[in-house]
Structure 1
Amino acid sequence: MDNLVILGIDTRPQVNSALKLKYNLYSSAYYTTIDFPKNVLEKHILNEEADTSCGLFEENYSAKKLLINVRDYLDSADNIILTSGISGDDFTGEFKKYKSKIIGNKSTEHVSDKYRFYNKISNKFLCPMTFLISDVDELGEILKEYDEVSFILKPNKGSGGYDTIHLNYDAYIKDNQIKNSIENILLSQDEILVQEFISGVNISSSVLASSTDAKTIMNTRLLTLDDIGFKGDYRYCGNIMPLDIKSIQQFTRFNIPHDEIGIKNLNEDMNMLSEEIIKESKLIGSNGVDLILSGEENNEGNILNNDIYLIEVNPRFQGTYECVEKVLSINLLEEHIKACNGELIEELNPNTHAIKEILYAQSKIKQGNLNIDGLYDISHENTIIEKDQPLVTIIKECGNVKKGLKEIKSLKDKINSNIYPIDN
């Protein structure tokens, strides 16, 4: 039986899939949660203790820490699976010799460097206008030249919507606090991507790829905190799938008519675009493609016929992982491994809807008992979670989207009654 090591920020979903396959299983993650399987050898960076703060993820996590933590597992590993927060490019120095054991993409710099990726594909695919800056003066010149355009500023490398700022020239020259925020980001990031803001609907494709072909297995309505009411906060917080009329109509400020032909055509266009970009990027296994359906008004009054903008490619498992498994009744880890070995899944039969929402602490809190059905990634009772840090994940399988959202609201009420604000 082969030894399989799974690495990432949160490995729980992939570990649960791997337990259904024939492996000796090991895991190294940042988080440790009460719903992590008990019979798996694992190491974690974050050690939670009652009445003690979990600290800030962005200050405490690094891929190097993860590798050092799991060093003794890697020698005996036959294969390695990577999830979010680590890539084959992180296997340098003493860890370079383990890179060949990775099942999946062994090098992703050509897509994880967003500006490099943009320069390569912008003449073939519709992309937002994009620049790379290293100081605020460069930014001021760009904003002044395109003073009627608003932009999104985000790290050139990284994901999840962290350190993202939405601004235009007027806001830049009037608000010194924004300038200070940008300078602070530059101190840690060196470079910032400046990308034209496309007003529209966030959508995404999950794609399985072999070395010769690619197949979109699921399209989804992607959710950020901005979508669900936290204006200007573009952190990823969930999804609704599959992408149909009911899912795309949720949390949108745009008029989307009940147009079954329009949604069918949109899905087909997404499939073609996503498969083409994954093949163009020479990626294998499970990958994600983030897109925006433009919300610009048209003569038909139907944005389903609007342009689709390519935003970025995520060369790894996506946050949609467990929802895809539920909707398609598949083991996505198994299908990822098969795809890397040249075998793509054939039959795809969505048989339900699934909704995911990640909740973030809106203030510093002490967590009570959240061992509740439908909740995942649950911290230990009485740990302290800092403001804006992930609190818990809700995953709801449902036949009806509106009913599912109503059940999620009920779960949120239970969560709120089991968390306790802490005064600083």
Structure 2
Amino acid sequence: MDNLVILGIDTRPQVNSALKLKYNVYSSAYYTTIDFPKNVLEKHILNEEADTSCGLFEENYSAKKLLINVRDYLDSADNIILTSGISGDDFTGEFKKYKSKIIGNKSTEHVSDKYRFYNKISNKFLCPMTFLISDVDELGEILKEYDDVSFIVKPNKGSGGYDTIHLNYDAYIKDNQIKNSIENILLSQDEILVQEFISGVNISSSVLASSTDAKTIMNTRLLTLDDIGFKGDYRYCGNIMPLDIKSIQQFTRFNIPHDEIGIKNLNEDMNMLSEEIIKESKLIGSNGVDLILSGEENNEGNILNNDIYLIEVNPRFQGTYECVEKVLSINLLEEHIKACNGELIEELNPNAHAIKEILYAQSKIKQGNLNIDGLYDISHENTIIEKDQPLVTIIKECGNVKKGLKEIKSLKDKINSNIYPIDN
């Protein structure tokens, strides 16, 4: 059997898929949770211990640490799979010689650098107005010039909704805390993106691509914490799939004018746009395209106007990975490998809905026993999780979206009865 090394922040989903393909699997991840597959050679950055804080991911994680941890596995590896938090561009210095073993995109700087990507594609696709700044004075000038526009400020690389601030000129000049927050981001990022805020519904496409073609396998309603009630927090927290009337109607203040024909047209437009941008970007394997279906306010209330804005491309496996596998009854890692070798999957038909929600600790807590059906990425019992850090993931396959959301609420009640706030 071939030796397959999988690297990323959380490799559990891809390791599970790889084991079904009869690889000798090795893993290097940030997390290793109690639901991580047994009997897999693995190394991890975070060592969870009872009554000990897990610390802050953003302070402790780096792609370099993943590579250093897995150094002993790389020589014997036949192939390498990358998930979130690491790219082929991180294979530098002593690790550069292993880059050729990656199955997937070996270089992604042209899309992971969001401003570079914007400059390349903004004359071909509908995109929000976008700027790159290196100090707060530049930001002030932009906001003053476009004082009737609101913007999102976010890192030029990475993110997942972290360090994202929604503001306009009035808020900027009146709230010193906003300015201080942006200055703090600039201390670690050097440059940040200033992007026109598009009001609407977050949607996403999962695309498989070969070197000559691309195929959208799933469109999804993307969820941020802002969508589910945590105003102004744009961190990714889940998804509902497939994209249909039932999924698009959830967690939105917009009136949905679409009928079944309208939703079909929306999916077709998304497919065409996403496939075109993936081919244009010369990406292979599994990739994600994040979009916004824009909305506007008028005398009839908040309605969607059907303009699809391209926000960014994720040249890697997406957070929708396990939901896609469940809804389409496929092994997504297998299809990724086939696509990289020139073979794209045939026509697919979703057989259910799937909902994913990542829960974040709303205060510093000690975790009890969360070994509950339907929960994933479960930390060890009695570990301490800091405020705003990921707590656990819920994944629910269901025939009915409303019923699935009701079952998720029930799971949240069980979670809340097994976590214990800690006073600082």
Question: Distance in 2 between the 1:126 and 1:90 partners?
Answer: 30
CA deviation map 1:260-299 (0-9, x unaligned): 1110000000000000000000000000000000012579
Q: Is the 8 A contact 1:209 1:344 kept in 2?
A: yes
Closer/same/farther in 2, CA of residues 15 and 256 from structure 1, 3 Å limit: same
Q: What secondary structure sits across from 1:144 in the alignment?
A: helix
Q: Is the 8 A contact 2:200 2:304 kept in 1?
A: no
Q: Is the 8 A contact 1:219 1:243 kept in 2?
A: yes
Q: Is the 8 A contact 1:262 1:305 kept in 2?
A: no
RMSD (Å), alpha carbons: 1.2
Q: What secondary structure sits across from 1:52 in the alignment?
A: coil
Question: Distance in 2 between the 1:59 and 1:205 partners?
Answer: 30
CA deviation map 1:321-355 (0-9, x unaligned): 00000000000000000000000001201000000
CA deviation map 1:130-183 (0-9, x unaligned): 000000000000000000000000000013100000000000000011111110
Question: Distance in 2 between the 1:168 and 1:352 partners?
Answer: 41
Instruction: Structure 1: state its 5+ residue gaps.
Output: none
Give % identity.
99
Q: Is the 8 A contact 1:364 1:387 kept in 2?
A: yes
State the Cα distance separating 1:21 from its structure 2 match.
Answer: 0.2
Corresponding residue of 1:128: 128
Q: Is the 8 A contact 2:206 2:287 kept in 1?
A: yes
Q: Is the 8 A contact 1:162 1:234 kept in 2?
A: yes
State the Cα distance separating 1:257 from its structure 2 match.
Answer: 3.3
Corresponding residue of 1:167: 167
Closer/same/farther in 2, CA of residues 165 and 305 from structure 1, 3 Å limit: closer
Closer/same/farther in 2, CA of residues 198 and 305 from structure 1, 3 Å limit: closer
State the Cα distance separating 1:39 from its structure 2 match.
Answer: 1.5
Closer/same/farther in 2, CA of residues 419 and 302 from structure 1, 3 Å limit: closer
Question: Distance in 2 between the 1:357 and 1:203 partners?
Answer: 15
Q: What is the count of residue pairs matched by the alignment?
A: 424
Corresponding residue of 1:253: 253
Q: What secondary structure sits across from 1:238 in the alignment?
A: strand
Instruction: Structure 2: state its 5+ residue gaps.
Output: none
Question: Distance in 2 between the 1:381 and 1:31 partners?
Answer: 14
Structure-2-length-normalised TM-score: 0.99
Q: Is the 8 A contact 1:266 1:305 kept in 2?
A: no
Question: Distance in 2 between the 1:264 and 1:403 partners?
Answer: 23
Q: What secondary structure sits across from 2:261 in the alignment?
A: helix
Question: Distance in 2 between the 1:292 and 1:252 partners?
Answer: 13
Q: Is the 8 A contact 2:26 2:73 kept in 1?
A: yes
Question: Distance in 2 between the 1:304 and 1:2 partners?
Answer: 49
Q: Is the 8 A contact 1:375 1:395 kept in 2?
A: yes
Q: What secondary structure sits across from 1:379 in the alignment?
A: coil
Q: Is the 8 A contact 2:296 2:305 kept in 1?
A: no
Question: Distance in 2 between the 1:303 and 1:312 partners?
Answer: 24
The runs of 4+ residues in structure 1 deviating greater than 6 Å are 298-302
Corresponding residue of 2:77: 77
State the Cα distance separating 1:300 from its structure 2 match.
Answer: 9.6
Question: Distance in 1 between the 2:303 and 2:4 partners?
Answer: 45
State the Cα distance separating 1:304 from its structure 2 match.
Answer: 5.5
Structure-1-length-normalised TM-score: 0.99
Q: What secondary structure sits across from 1:297 in the alignment?
A: strand
Q: Is the 8 A contact 1:99 1:106 kept in 2?
A: yes
Question: Distance in 2 between the 1:336 and 1:300 partners?
Answer: 45
Closer/same/farther in 2, CA of residues 207 and 303 from structure 1, 3 Å limit: farther
Question: Distance in 2 between the 1:31 and 1:160 partners?
Answer: 17
Q: Is the 8 A contact 1:112 1:157 kept in 2?
A: yes
Bigger drift between 289-298 and 245-254 goes to: 289-298
